[in-house]
Structure 1
């Protein structure tokens, strides 16, 4: 027994091999290196989901549930379909910049006369567009100036607010140098009107359109035979009539200039404007 104890003491006193220190340092450095790589790595969640889905199909599972990089649960992925990222639509709401040379060559299908009139209107009414009192839009056949009800009329009334008269006069000043039929349309929301003067939203919308027409042709700069008034009531809403904000947006008057051609066509590049839906 005493001999065994002496042997155990000798084993305890024997030093570790010299290489073990170098090996431990190397292992520690490698661990640190891979931790740094992982900290700089970014996981593509969509690719991870697709990979997980493929694994689910391979193993016969109905769905795969996991966590993303931030620890949030991933959406269930069905075994018979792969979840792919949707195309980005971040530019859908951005205004387009129109190249006048491209327009005149017919590359976009919008005539130079439409772009020219839209550019003139935007420069003339820049402050009003910025304030939201009106907007200027166009498509392949017309330029549309859209006046909000809040800026133009009092609730339930067809008389134009006095502060809007000078703005309409500036519109007339631009239209006087341009040809094209002018259609003025009044719109309301879908709520029935309670008024002793107007029988329905059709009456009110038509009366508002006539008020704007009167201002357009009063000084005879825009020939009366070019202008038509129409009451549209709650038809053609810009947004669903499901909230006060949307209803306010739908209450409006629009001046549409069809196929315009302006004297002394502007050669400057058109300003960015919204495209009609």
Structure 2
């Protein structure tokens, strides 16, 4: 009986790994495409948001931008060339060192420093129209209230596009009280008379130091500051020529000190009422500007 011829075995394929390798490379390529698309999608918007947040924190002195971060220092993201990132981080000053870094906040001043504003950096530059309103209004205030300014009962100051009449607590109220002292009512009446000739809105703001007011009289400094502002407003609008619709009363408690509350003089300066004038609507601007 003849024996069947044994079928020859197929040679072993040593290149089967190429199939798995090709599949792996395809998946890896797809992964990097997805990562790249995430990195580039709306990249500018994300960078602007991050930079704005960092700059806001830098303005109040909480942080300084970390060195070497292309996103925080104005780079374009994780795929930016190294050379460009290096140039950006080496040559671009930090927020705290930049020539354009804003000056300290004129109201919320750092502890131990005055809140005197820098007219060139702290406030937006007024438009020519607003400059004319500021000039005429300030001249009128300084002329009409000259004796009160010289006696330091009040201060008149320009803050950006606004004018502020600042009255100390001792010129209006007893300590820890919202009772307007009668002898100073003529001062407010004179201010009201001047305000009737100046167009624009009038905001009366009460400020306190950080001491606690008498609990039996006021819940806290917020209530005390609001009541002081309201007392001033009530006196101002007794002048029938000053439209009540122009006037707003608000209290800021001890949230906006001019100085650190570290000695009696600074505490006294922080207890104040500020009457802020802002340029009004076109109809209000038609009011006669007397000289």
TM-score range, shorter chain: 0.5 to 0.7
Q: Residues 140 and 104 from structure 1, CA distance in 2 versus in 1: closer, same or farther, beyond 3 angstroms?
A: closer
Structure 1 residues without counterparts, runs of 5 or longer: 1-92, 97-102, 268-277
Cα offset, 1:237, TM superposition: 0.7
Mapped partners of 2:225, 2:159: distance in 1: 24
Q: 1:162 aligns with which of 178, 182, 195?
A: 182
Higher strand content, 1 or 2: 1
Mapped partners of 1:122, 1:161: distance in 2: 24
3-state SS in 2 of match to 1:185: strand
- Structure 2 counterpart of 1:265: 289
Q: Residues 114 and 262 from structure 1, CA distance in 2 versus in 1: closer, same or farther, beyond 3 angstroms?
A: farther
Q: 1:148 aligns with which of 168, 185, 196?
A: 168
CA-to-partner distance for each residue in 1:50-91, whole Å, 9 max, x for gaps? Answer: xxxxxxxxxxxxxxxxxxxxxxxxxxxxxxxxxxxxxxxxxx
Structure 2 residues without counterparts, runs of 5 or longer: 1-115, 120-124
Q: 1:242 aligns with which of 262, 265, 272?
A: 262
What RMSD over aligned residues (CA atoms) do the two structures have, in Å? 2.4
1:123-142 equivalences under 5 Å are 123-142=143-162
Which structure's relative contact order is higher, taking Cα pairs within 8 Å and 6+ residues apart? 1
- Structure 2 counterpart of 1:80: none
Mapped partners of 1:251, 1:185: distance in 2: 11
Mapped partners of 1:209, 1:140: distance in 2: 23
CA-to-partner distance for each residue in 1:156-191, whole Å, 9 max, x for gaps? Answer: 111211221111111111111222111100000011
Cα offset, 1:117, TM superposition: 1.1
Cα offset, 1:151, TM superposition: 1.1
Aligned residues: 165
Scaled by the length of structure 2, the TM-score of the pair is: 0.53
Q: Residues 212 and 159 from structure 1, CA distance in 2 versus in 1: closer, same or farther, beyond 3 angstroms?
A: same
CA contact (8 A) 2:222 2:251 kept: yes
Q: Residues 115 and 266 from structure 1, CA distance in 2 versus in 1: closer, same or farther, beyond 3 angstroms?
A: farther
CA contact (8 A) 2:198 2:289 kept: no
CA contact (8 A) 2:196 2:242 kept: yes
Q: Which runs of 4+ in 1 moved over 4 A?
A: none
